[in-house]
Structure formats: C-alpha cells, structure tokens
Amino acid sequence: MGHGHGHGVAGAASAGRAYIRRLGAALALTAAYMVVQIVVGISSGSLALLSDAAHMGTDALGLGLALAAVVLANRPGATQRTFGNYRLEVLAAVINGMLLFAAAAYVFVEAIQRLADPTEVAGIPVLITAVFGLVVNLISLRLLAAGARESLNVKGAYLEVMADMLGSVGVIVAALVVWLTGWVYADTIIAAVIGLFIVPRTYVLMRHALRILMEVAPPEIDVAGVESRLRSLDGVADVHELHIWTITSGVEAASVHVLVSSDDRIHPVLDEARSVLSEVGVTRCTVQVEPITHDDGAAGSRGAPRVGTDKA
C-alpha cells in the first residue's frame, strides 16, 4: 500500500508576510478615518458621509482579513487545531458581513425618510472630511502597491481601497453641490448609491465565507473533471472518496483514494495524482494509493454523498 501527502505552502496568505507592517498601517489609517467620518457625519447631518464610513468599513474588513490571514498563517496551531487558526478569518468575515448589511439597511431607511423630510447638511465640514478621506485612500494605495504585485492576498486589499476612492469622490461631489446650491437631496442620493455599492460586495464576501464553512468545493475547481483526470492516469483502476474543500481563502485542500492495477504503479501514480491536484490549485492534499487487491472497506461507500463536491 502506498500513501502520499502534499506539502503546500502555508497558504496564499503567507505570500504577504513581508507586507505585514504596510497592511497594518493601511488598516490603522482606514479604521481611524472611518471613526472620523462617523463623527463628522453625525454632527454635520451628512448621510453620504455616514454611508461612505460604512463603505470604508468594507475596506477595513478587507485589510483586517488580509492582515489576519498573514499573521495567523504563520502562528502554530494548538494540538487539537490541526489546521491552525485559518478559520478565524472566515468567521470574522461572516460577522463583519452581517454588520455591513445592517449598516446598508440603515442607510436605505434613512435615505427614504430624508427624501420625504430633508435634513440640513453642513457642506463645508463634509467636503473637508471627504477630501481627507480621499487622501487616506491614496496613502493606503501607495502602502499596498508593491505587495499587490506579488501577493493575491494583498492585491485583494488593494482593490478594496481603490473601490472606496469612488465613494470618497461621490461624497466630495455631494458636498460641493450642497455647499454651492443648497440642494440637500444630493447628499441623500449619493448615500443611497454608496449603500447600493456596499450590498453586492458584502453579499459576495458572505457567500464566499459560507461556502468555506460548508466545505463546498471551490467554484473554480471542476471536481468531476479532476476525478476524470485521475481515472485517466496510466495504471489507475478506480478513484473514490475524492474530497476538495477550502480551509481558508487561497488555501485549497483535497483527499482521495486511488486504486492501481499493479504495485509497480503505486509511486508513479502517487506523483502524477499530486501533480493533477496541484495544477487545479490544491495546495494541501492527501493521496492514498492502494493496489486493486486491497480492501479498505470503501467499496460500499462509493455511492455515498461526497462532501464538498456540489456546486453552490
């Protein structure tokens, strides 16, 4: 009997290890300025600024998860946590996603009320705050630019900040309109637009996190296709118990039993099977290769449901 195991990298997150300080600095700037936006938004009566604060919250979430992925990926797990602390990132994403949905709902309800009963907005404080918010975004982009070229994890955070620049520009436009014309509806309309921008991004985040918690196969991996490729390997008689799932963002895992027609094909099939899994993006795998004469009791379970092979 032959057993194989794949040693993947610590995860896609570890690729950004060199950028921990830059991620931390960008997170600190974003989170601090989100608080400033909330304070000024409440005091000035600007719903657009409050909406952009929620939008900046998505940036803080993205940066925080990117930083957590890097830090936690390099911390040893306790004895009973054999996958370390990876899932903490996913749980944080679910919790923050729920908070962001609540923030978006608040913006929509408040916008509807303000359309019926407009609220006075102090244009100049909002304009000054929004301009500084744009500067914070530009600084964060500069901090993350180098890492975005080398790490998918950092690139995700970079794109989050870039998207928030649109929100800052929108608030600047609304503040200028209110200041120059006194048309307060501009603030409400921009707030609703930013809220609409938050919802789909948060939905995608939540959907991805829930897929991971449910151990559904990654959408970009064709499980049936992988099984077909394994079956086509020279000397393979059967393939069963193929499971592919995501441990955390960017870290895909797999396990599979492969039956071979002769003992001399055990090691070649092991190497080829691991190569197939690596090609589809699996960084951690366990491949159990057995001669066809071996009875591991799996025959009766081949018709059972396979965890993580459904497409959600």
Backbone angles phi, psi at 218, to 5 degrees: -55, 140
Q: Which residue has the higher pLDDT, 20 or 236?
A: 236
Chain segment 270-292, per-residue pLDDT in tens: 999 999 999 999 989 999 998 88
Chain segment 91-145, per-residue pLDDT in tens: 777 777 787 788 788 888 888 888 888 888 888 898 999 899 889 889 988 888 8
Q: Which residues pair with 245 in a beta bridge?
A: 253
Give the whole-angstrom CA distance, residue 80 versus residue 3.
23
* CATH code that applies to domain 12-213: 1.20.1510
Answer whether 253's CB lies under 8 Å from 284's CB.
yes
What residue spans define the domains of the chain?
12-213, 217-301
- Helix (H) or strand (E) run with residue 4 in it: strand 2-6
Predicted structure pTM score: 0.65
* DSSP E strand boundaries for 27-161: none
Chain segment 35-64, per-residue pLDDT in tens: 999 999 999 899 988 888 887 887 787 788
CB burial of residue 232 (10 Å; 0-12, 13-18, 19+) = exposed
Q: Tokens 């890097």 identify what position?
A: 70
Sheet holding 236-248, edge to edge: 2-6, 282-291, 251-260, 236-248
Show the 3-state SS of 256-267.
Answer: EEEEECCHHHHH
Q: Tokens 């996913």 identify what position?
A: 90
Answer whether 255's CB lies under 8 Å from 307's CB.
no
Q: List CB contacts of 204: < 8 A, sequence separation 6 or more.
A: none
Domains 12-213 and 217-301 share a fold: no
In the predicted structure, residue 4 carries a pLDDT above the cut 50: no
Give the whole-angstrom CA distance, residue 52 versus residue 193.
10
Per DSSP, helices labelled H in 149-236 are: 152-181, 185-213, 223-231
Which class does domain 217-301 fall in? alpha beta
